[in-house]
Structure 1
Amino acid sequence: MANYRGGRINEEVRKEVSDIIRNGIKDPRMTAMISVTDVKVTKDLRYAKVYVSVFGKNETEKTESFGALKSSASFVRKEIGQRINLRYTPEIIFELDDSIEHGMHIDALLNKIKEK
């Protein structure tokens, strides 16, 4: 698979997974805001690692929302199979991505240093 094709597939899967999470999943445990940051589909199109950031009021809300998201992976896979025409429908693996929170923490530290 050419490199540009892999990037196009990753981006298309990211858009569709984001739309499915926003509009398709009706789990009441998902109360936190979930953002899809990146998707990495393997070259053989068997697996897709979906990196998500979860923003919630507290840590329990975040873990509960992420657990609900992981339990809905088979539903997301079925929807991806219907929306995107690929040879294989990749198995969805959700991974927690805390890079946005880490960046906000570093920004807060820099602002704190700037004030001194």
Structure 2
Amino acid sequence: MREFSRTDRVAEQLAHELALLIQREVKDPRLGMVTVGSARVSRDLSYADVYITLMGENSDERVRDNLAVLEGAAGFLRHRLGQQLKLRHVPQLRFHYDDSVERGHALSSLIDEAVADGRRRRDEDEDAADPDRDSHGER
């Protein structure tokens, strides 16, 4: 079993605290429903890459606007993290949009389409091979 390094523990705690802070304390009306998916902290704790997802429609413009709001609030969030976490140095925050959820949904849809197409083709092949079957596969 792998031991978690200090940076892993800091990243996990940072992501958890940031999720709460963004939800409760960032009062910008341009900010949508943001979910903090994960954070990666540099070995020297100088910066943290924070990966977010958005609920709802995610146009490029909406993603840019939400990232801009978070970048603008980064100083405030970093200050609040300093009050919450027991760290000598709170990492600089860099926000990134995580599109893996969208890509996962797209891949799932493609798989569903392929499975449905395979079933349809199998049924057509079975119907062509046995002309005595009706459209429901019964004789």
TM-score for the superposition, normalised by structure 2: 0.75
For residues 13-32 of structure 1, the aligned pairs below 5 Å read: 13-30=14-31, 32=32
For residues 1-116 of structure 1, the aligned pairs below 5 Å read: 3-30=4-31, 32-59=32-59, 60-116=61-117
* SS across alignment from 2:5: helix
1:3 positional shift? 4.8
What do you get for the CA RMSD once the two structures are aligned? 1.6
What letter is aligned with 1:67? A
Larger RCO (alpha carbons 8 Å, 6+ apart): 1
CA contact (8 A) 1:34 1:53 kept: yes
Q: After the TM superposition, list the runs of 4 or more consecutive aligned residues in structure 1 that deviate by more than 4 angstroms.
A: none
Between the aligned partners of 1:57 and 1:97, the Cα distance in structure 2 is 14
CA contact (8 A) 1:9 1:41 kept: yes
Q: Which runs of 5+ in 1 are unaligned?
A: none
Between Structure 1 and Structure 2, the one with more strand by share is: 1
* SS across alignment from 1:75: helix
* SS across alignment from 1:12: helix
1:110 positional shift? 0.6
TM-score for the superposition, normalised by structure 1: 0.88
Between structure 1 and structure 2, the one with the greater Rg is: 2
